[in-house]
Structure 1
Amino acid sequence: MDSSSSEGGGGAINEGMLYHEVQESKLCAVHCVNTALQGPFFSEFDLAALASDLDHTEQRMMLGAGDFLSHNVSLDGDFSIQVLQKALDVWDLQVIRLDSPVAEQAQIDPEKENAFICHLLDHWFCIRKVNGEWYNFDSLYAAPEHLSKFYLSAYLDSLKGSGWSIFLVKGNFPSECPMASLEASNGYGQWLLPEDAERITKSCNSAFFRTEKESGQMGLSDEETEMLFGIEDEGLKAAIAASLMDSSRVPETRPSSSANENKKSDAENA
């Protein structure tokens, strides 16, 4: 993977490192915004304040309409797309539904964009291009997972087919996050070199394949399983496995960008 180029064509942003946040409680919206910006720019309190501002505006508009129920933050901490939009608007970034006419070019050539945010039920995650390479920054993953430009389009189509709402993020992203902020990090963020992220992903994928093979839950024939274990490229192996499993069983609500979900033990709280 080449990490020498950036969105702006200059040197690598953030010294070539990737910023990733691992799932904490139900803070996936916070993780999604921060990985889109590539730095610990927002906390859950910041998003809660933005949600409160939106609530107050809506309450004024609905004066006399009876009891007000917030649609911007749920009781369990999930935030609305309006809150994420307001957070990204601080950086003059636009959030546009991918299926809208103004995003038609992004539907045709998604690899030419810089970021997408995805939502289904109560989970948010970001797919982001960093230093010329695409990564899935899902907070349920132990590390950002590299996506080839070819697989990016197929993965977005898979998400759309499974009912996910996908939003294009456009504008001038922060070119740097001061590395000094690492000391003042939120506790669930981490900076990784691309090779470290790849190593972690390979380790998780290998553990997944080993467990699935031993439990017989992959839903693949013996020939397909042996073929997968003969492939050395972990990314290719994961993509082929996902494709084979999709064709051999009813697709799950949430497709993985690799065969490994890399979930934390509390993934059900995403």
Structure 2
Amino acid sequence: MEIMEGPSNGGMIYHEVQESKLCAVHCVNTVLQGPFFSEFDLAALASDLDRKEQQVMLGGGDLLSGQSHNVSLDGDFSIQVLQKALEVWDLQVIPLDCPAAEPAQIEPELENAFICHLQDHWFCIRKVNGEFYNFDSLYAAPQHLSKFYLSAYLDSLKSSGWSIFIVRGNFPKECPIAFSDSSTIGFGQWLSPEDADRIIKSSRVAAPSRTNNNNQIEQRQFQFEDEDVMTAAEEEDLNAAIRASLMDSAAGPPPAPAETKTDTSSS
């Protein structure tokens, strides 16, 4: 059963825009909705995991190789590091394709957060104050997702090879750091839902290209009819269209389907 909660963080939503290759840091922080971790925190967790893995493999002793299995030279972190960071807040990270996650495959809107990963990019989809947002750090602001589009978007990610994980547990309700007057802290920024929507709409005029593994990936915008007037057949056509449009695109998170409202007013 979905639990309705009061507004957190004064109704504001927290977003971090891509800095260097720190998308894993941005992903964890937007799951937690606050600047809880830095790249140094995740690097320390990666080092600790490397040491423990080496001890298990060799029966003790120091790392014999300078190569880490949990953080790459360019700063990409493993899922184990993200899991360890979220465990600090008593949160579990569960693969979407495992038996325990079967209910989420049918009704993803009943979950609170998803982590998505492909190659060297991480981002999260998070429910904040009852509404879902795409917190991809390659976007200028969080992009709102209705419950219907959440399901369609997750399907499009799965069909294009993304690994998806559910985050479950007791999420922090408030960020312990007080809002600054500028509403900006570290890599992140606090935005009202209205400001986020305005920024996303203005960025659609000229969608920027994304870089992933040194390949330029074109961002695609999807325009669909209002979900309330769609039939079951149209819904299936929508999912098929998303999958088809992604087949010829390179790796990179496809932008969430843009929601447009049908104008029913008289001319």
TM range (shorter): 0.7 to 0.9
User: What is residue 192 of structure 1 aligned with on the other side?
Assistant: 191
Aligned to 1:62, what secondary structure does the other structure show?
helix
User: What is residue 111 of structure 1 aligned with on the other side?
Assistant: 109
> How many angstroms does 1:249 deviate by?
7.2
> How many angstroms does 1:124 deviate by?
0.3
Q: Calculate the TM-score normalised by the size of structure 2.
A: 0.77
CA distance in 1, matches of 2:100, 2:246: 36
Q: 8 Å contact 2:5–2:129 — kept in the other structure?
A: no
> How many angstroms does 1:56 deviate by?
1.1
Query: 170-179 vs 192-201, which deviates more?
Result: 170-179
Q: 8 Å contact 1:158–1:255 — kept in the other structure?
A: no
Q: 1:70 to 1:179 in 2, by over 3 A?
A: closer
Aligned to 2:58, what secondary structure does the other structure show?
coil
- The yes-or-no answer on 1:165 pairing with 2:160 is no
RCO greater where, 1 or 2, for CA within 8 Å and sep 6 or more?
A: 1
User: What is residue 15 of structure 1 aligned with on the other side?
Assistant: 10
Matches within 5 A, 1:142-181: 142-180=140-178
The CA RMSD measured in Å over matched residues stands at 3.3
CA distance in 2, matches of 1:244, 1:82: 31
- The yes-or-no answer on 1:91 pairing with 2:86 is no
Q: 1:148 to 1:10 in 2, by over 3 A?
A: closer
User: What is residue 251 of structure 2 aligned with on the other side?
Assistant: 253
CA distance in 1, matches of 2:50, 2:163: 23
User: What is residue 122 of structure 1 aligned with on the other side?
Assistant: 120
**Residue identity opposite 1:30 in structure 2:** V
Aligned to 1:180, what secondary structure does the other structure show?
coil
User: What is residue 36 of structure 2 aligned with on the other side?
Assistant: 41
Q: 8 Å contact 2:149–2:257 — kept in the other structure?
A: no
Q: 8 Å contact 2:23–2:121 — kept in the other structure?
A: yes
Matches within 5 A, 1:198-217: 198-208=197-207
Q: 1:181 to 1:70 in 2, by over 3 A?
A: farther
**Residue identity opposite 1:45 in structure 2:** F
Deviations 1:111-155 (A, max 9, x none): 000000001101000000001100000000000000110011111
CA distance in 2, matches of 1:168, 1:190: 24
Where does structure 2 lack aligned partners over 5 or more consecutive residues? 209-217, 228-237, 259-267
CA distance in 2, matches of 1:135, 1:259: 12
CA distance in 1, matches of 2:180, 2:160: 36
Count of residues paired in the alignment: 233
**Residue identity opposite 2:38 in structure 1:** S
> How many angstroms does 1:61 deviate by?
1.4
> How many angstroms does 1:185 deviate by?
6.3
> How many angstroms does 1:11 deviate by?
1.9
User: What is residue 236 of structure 1 aligned with on the other side?
Assistant: none
Aligned to 1:125, what secondary structure does the other structure show?
strand
Q: Which has the higher helix share?
A: 1
Deviations 1:60-110 (A, max 9, x none): 112279943321001111100000000000000000000001100011100
Aligned to 1:204, what secondary structure does the other structure show?
helix
> How many angstroms does 1:251 deviate by?
3.5
